[in-house]
């Protein structure tokens, strides 16, 4: 059997074909332009293969309720031209196979969960945050994605301001100073005039970023009690997570027991941003099994 993966991002769509063991057989990258042009290329790519099922892990917000009239749509996204795009319908019209639809971070979370099973880790639940152009989070609890009214929007939770960051307005067009508005990649330029890659880790702005990321980890720990919290995305590095662990430890203040922080708050186990691809293969495999 062959499974298709679509990791739909704001700048590119990463499409891949894999087998039952979640191994990539073929892969391509398609620029995110207009919905019509981009999806035409996605369809053309998958038509080269005998695909049994596909999973789409998309930027959002998206509609995942199958009873909703706009199920399968990208909805109120700030991505110009992509508001109210029927991404599942456009693919289903040309390729009639079962399609699983979820968020990009849910796909990544599921991929990391599958990897933990393959590595014989004792993991039943985990949370995956991505910090990049935007901020999002996906959660697996007892092996299942959470959310019934919709998918989680962990990137838009409110956080306590760092005392040295009170004058910064935040860049989220909906909530101003939510987590995404304060910690996403573009906030580096908004604060310093430089891209994050050009800001040395010794700069105090990284302490501010760590303060907010640690709060996200603390909230997640206290609400969901996962076995692991993973941070991915372009802003994240092991050196940055060392700061986050230190801040998290101070905030938690010994209130509850957590695993060794070097393992509890970690980078993705799947390298080269491949978590969502593995997750998509597994979700496509799962939906095919459920339907049969």
CATH of region 3-104+272-291: 3.30.420.40
pLDDT at 75: 94
Please give the chain's pLDDT, 292 residues, in tens.
999 999 998 889 999 999 999 999 999 999 999 999 999 999 999 999 999 999 999 998 999 999 999 999 999 887 889 999 999 999 999 999 999 999 999 999 999 999 999 998 889 999 999 998 889 999 999 989 987 677 888 999 999 999 999 999 999 988 889 999 999 999 999 999 999 889 999 999 999 999 999 999 999 999 999 999 999 998 999 999 999 999 999 999 999 999 999 999 999 999 888 999 999 999 999 999 888 7
pLDDT at 152: 81
The secondary structure of 191-215, three-state, reads: HHCCCHHHCCCCCHHHHHHHHHHHH
- Intrachain domains 3-104+272-291 and 120-266 with the same fold: yes
> pTM of the entire structure?
0.92
Q: Cα separation of 154 and 9, whole Å?
A: 18
Contact assessment for residue 114 and residue 18, using Cβ atoms and an 8 Å cutoff = no
Q: Label the pairing between strands 126-131 and 228-232.
A: parallel
Q: Cα separation of 187 and 170, whole Å?
A: 7
Q: Which residues have a Cβ under 8 Å from the Cβ of 288 and sit 6 or more positions away? A: 1, 3, 52, 53, 98
Q: Structurally, what CATH architecture does the domain formed by 120-266 represent?
A: 2-Layer Sandwich (3.30)
Domain residue extents for the chain? 3-104+272-291, 120-266
């Amino acid at each position: 059997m062959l499974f298709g993966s679509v990791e739909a991002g704001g700048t590119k769509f990463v499409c891949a074909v894999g087998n039952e063991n979640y191994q990539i057989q073929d892969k391509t990258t398609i620029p995110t332009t207009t919905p019509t042009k981009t999806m035409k290329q996605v369809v053309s790519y998958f038509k080269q293969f005998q695909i049994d099922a596909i999973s789409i892990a998309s930027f959002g917000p998206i509609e995942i309720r199958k009873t909703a009239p706009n199920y399968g749509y990208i909805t109120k996204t700030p991505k110009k031209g992509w508001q109210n795009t029927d991404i599942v319908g456009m693919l289903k019209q040309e390729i009639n196979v079962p399609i699983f639809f979820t968020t990009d971070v849910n796909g990544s979370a599921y991929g990391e969960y599958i990897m933990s099973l393959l590595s014989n880790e004792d993991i039943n639940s985990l949370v995956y945050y991505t910090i990049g152009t935007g901020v999002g989070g996906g959660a697996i609890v007892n092996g299942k994605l959470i959310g019934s009214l919709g998918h989680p929007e962990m990137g838009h939770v409110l956080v306590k301001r760092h005392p040295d960051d009170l004058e910064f307005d935040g860049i989220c067009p909906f909530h101003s100073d939510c987590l995404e508005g304060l910690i996403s990649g573009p906030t580096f330029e908004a604060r310093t005039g430089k891209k994050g890659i050009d800001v040395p880790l010794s700069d105090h702005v990284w302490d501010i970023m760590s303060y907010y990321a640690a709060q996200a980890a603390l909230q997640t720990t206290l609400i969901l009690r996962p076995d692991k919290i993973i941070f991915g995305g372009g802003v994240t590095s092991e050196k940055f997570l060392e700061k986050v662990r230190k801040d998290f430890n101070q905030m938690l203040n010994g209130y509850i027991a957590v695993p060794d922080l070097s393992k509890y708050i970690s980078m993705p186990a799947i390298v080269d941003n491949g978590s969502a691809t593995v997750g998509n293969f597994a979700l496509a495999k799962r939906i095919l099994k459920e339907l049969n």
